[in-house]
Amino acid sequence: MEQKPLIDFEEESTKVISDNLEQVTRDSSKDPKETTDSEEAKSKDDVTKLFEDFLEKESLFVNKKVLQIRYIPDTIKHRSKQIEILASILAPALRKEKPSNLFLYGKTGTGKTLCTTYALNKLKKIAEAKDIPINMVYLNCKLKKIADTEYRVIAQLAREIGSKVPTTGLPTDEVYNIFLRKLDENKQIIIIVLDEIDQLVTKIGDEMLYTLTRINQELKQAQLSIVGISNDVRFIENIDPRVKSSLGEEEIIFPPYNAIELREILQARAKEAFREDVITEGVLEKCSAYAAREHGDARRAIELLRVAGELAERENLLKITPKQIDSAEDKIERSRIIEIIETQPKQSQIVMYAILLLLEKQDGKLETGEVFEKYKELCKQQAINVLTQRRISDLISELDMLGLINAKIVSKGRYGRTREIYLTISTDMINKIKETLKKQLY
């Protein structure tokens, strides 16, 4: 029987190496630009296909605008009493009489801005139909570069009523006079809405509010009314008594929604926003439960439902299930923490940054004294005035109330009391928060 020749491993190895070298030589002889262009073309094709596939899919939404914050429904559920009071206070404007200054307060998402916008839109419609001179100005005091200095606030108000004011360069008194002259050009009622008015006072103090509430003494033709809106129910108690008596001529409290009310609000919105049978059993209940836990926040409930719908579409699902509500809750919570951090006053941001830097080097808990020493160090680096330790203790309490930390008061016996500080945010969010604070502070 003829034997098969043995494989010559040395010869075979040489052949393999030779073949590989030839392949490498062929690959290296290719123009790198051609390879890059080919990869880019494939990437573009993938993106194009993604967009085309998206267009071919039937959307879960019929009208997504219904789930946006700015949407004003034809009927506002569970707020008829507040709207009625609001309308009755504003109604004298239709007789060309100055309405009382008005202060609205309640937790986030209890319908303050929604009801105010709804009532003012109705008022404006009647005023236009009957040719009654009523002018309305809305200012969100939370926005940066609009309401973080007295100059910017007055300048923005002046622009809203038709004046041209530069962003910088004029004395604040001159901007105020421009605003005053424009106000008094015509015989009219002007209603200024200062939303999140507590943020304005935190940034620049309450002296400007006092000036605005007294402005009618300088007007000859126009009359000005102020509507202040705040999420902080204690805000009105902590401002100058002169401002309090002028601003709080009328007050309306907006209580939190309960879970049943939230479900009815969601049911009405979902009916307009989604195709039929998209919402599965338990979705609205879960949304309501999450929002009820967050102080009856209807805005949060509506946002949860919208984000859940978007996540379901990305997963190519035909229905929204409670699982998407859980995913939406996680996504929104992360965004909320960053938003809270970004909107804090600079001193609070420095305190938070000090806490994060200290906890980076040591696990577990901190005490107020440690945070204060690190805070002073950061202030010196940035040439910022150092607050007292007592004030820093107050800022730590505020961060605790916002849910960013847990600051528990403990007794040290004869050495007094201090706060033990722990982080309550998830580990994977810490670096993102530190990056956000670094951008804000440096």
pLDDT in tens, 38-83: 666 556 578 888 788 778 788 999 999 999 988 999 999 999 999 9
DSSP string, 158-174: HHHTT----SSSS-HHH
Four-way CATH pick for 64-69+258-336: 2.30.30.220, 1.10.8.60, 3.10.129.10, 2.40.30.40: 1.10.8.60
What's the confidence (pLDDT) of residue 403? 81
What's the confidence (pLDDT) of residue 441? 87
Which of residues 321 and 31 earns the better pLDDT score?
321
Structure tokens at 320: 């929204």
Q: Which of the four pLDDT bands, split at 50, 70 and 90, describes residue 6?
A: very low
How many of the other CB atoms lie within 10 Å of CB of 165? Answer: 20
- For the chain, the helix, strand and coil percentages under 3-state DSSP, each to the nearest 5: 60, 10, 30
What's the confidence (pLDDT) of residue 348? 92
CB 170 within 8 A of CB 226: no
Asked if the model's pLDDT at residue 431 lies above 90, the reply is no
Asked if the model's pLDDT at residue 422 lies above 90, the reply is no
DSSP string, 251-275: EEE-PPP-HHHHHHHHHHHHHHHB-
Range(s) of the chain covered by CATH 3.40.50.300: 80-253
Residue 407: strand pairing partners: 421
Asked if the model's pLDDT at residue 258 lies above 50, the reply is yes
Interatomic CA distance for residues 86 and 275, integer angstroms: 35
CB 284 within 8 A of CB 266: yes
Give the architecture (CATH level 2) of 344-441: Orthogonal Bundle (1.10)
What's the confidence (pLDDT) of residue 383? 87
Asked if the model's pLDDT at residue 384 lies above 50, the reply is yes
Percent over 70 (pLDDT), the chain: 88
Fold that domain 80-253 belongs to in CATH: Rossmann fold (3.40.50)
Interatomic CA distance for residues 173 and 177, integer angstroms: 6
Q: What is the mean pLDDT of the chain?
A: 86
pLDDT digits (tens, 9 = 90+) for 163-211: 988 888 899 999 999 999 999 999 999 999 999 998 888 778 888 888 8
What's the confidence (pLDDT) of residue 4? 44
Among the listed residues 74, 38, 17, the one whose alpha carbon sits nearest the alpha carbon of residue 269: 74
What's the confidence (pLDDT) of residue 5? 44
Distances (CA, A) of 133 to 138, 190, 410, 417: 17, 9, 60, 59
User: In the predicted model, what is the mean pLDDT of residues 376-384?
Assistant: 91
Interatomic CA distance for residues 307 and 43, integer angstroms: 27
User: In the predicted model, what is the mean pLDDT of residues 437-442?
Assistant: 86
What's the confidence (pLDDT) of residue 395? 92
Interatomic CA distance for residues 160 and 140, integer angstroms: 12
Q: Which residue has the tokens 């098969």?
A: 4
Asked if the model's pLDDT at residue 425 lies above 60, the reply is yes
CB 350 within 8 A of CB 380: no
What's the confidence (pLDDT) of residue 37? 59
Distances (CA, A) of 396 to 88, 239, 327, 420: 41, 21, 30, 10
What's the confidence (pLDDT) of residue 44? 59
Distances (CA, A) of 411 to 97, 391, 392, 414: 58, 19, 18, 9
User: In the predicted model, what is the mean pLDDT of residues 137-153?
Assistant: 87
Interatomic CA distance for residues 404 and 426, integer angstroms: 10
Burial of 321 (0-12, 13-18, 19+ CB in 10 A): middle
Range(s) of the chain covered by CATH 1.10.8.60: 64-69+258-336
What's the confidence (pLDDT) of residue 304? 94
Asked if the model's pLDDT at residue 144 lies above 80, the reply is no
Distances (CA, A) of 321 to 54, 153, 263, 299: 21, 45, 16, 20
Interatomic CA distance for residues 284 and 256, integer angstroms: 18
Q: Which of the four pLDDT bands, split at 50, 70 and 90, describes residue 22?
A: low
Burial 22-49 (b: 16+ CB within 10 A, else e): eeeeeeeeeeeeeeeeeeeeeeeeeeee
What's the confidence (pLDDT) of residue 215? 93
Asked if the model's pLDDT at residue 36 lies above 70, the reply is no
User: In the predicted model, what is the mean pLDDT of residues 146-154?
Assistant: 87
Q: What is the separation of C-alpha 236 from the centre of its chain, rounded to a whole number of angstroms?
A: 22
**pTM as predicted:** 0.72
pLDDT digits (tens, 9 = 90+) for 79-133: 999 999 999 999 999 999 999 999 999 988 999 999 999 999 999 999 999 999 9
Q: What is the separation of C-alpha 61 from the centre of its chain, rounded to a whole number of angstroms?
A: 24
Determine the straight-line distance between the first and last CA of the chain, rounded to whole angstroms.
Answer: 87
Tell me the pairing of strands 223-230 and 102-105: parallel
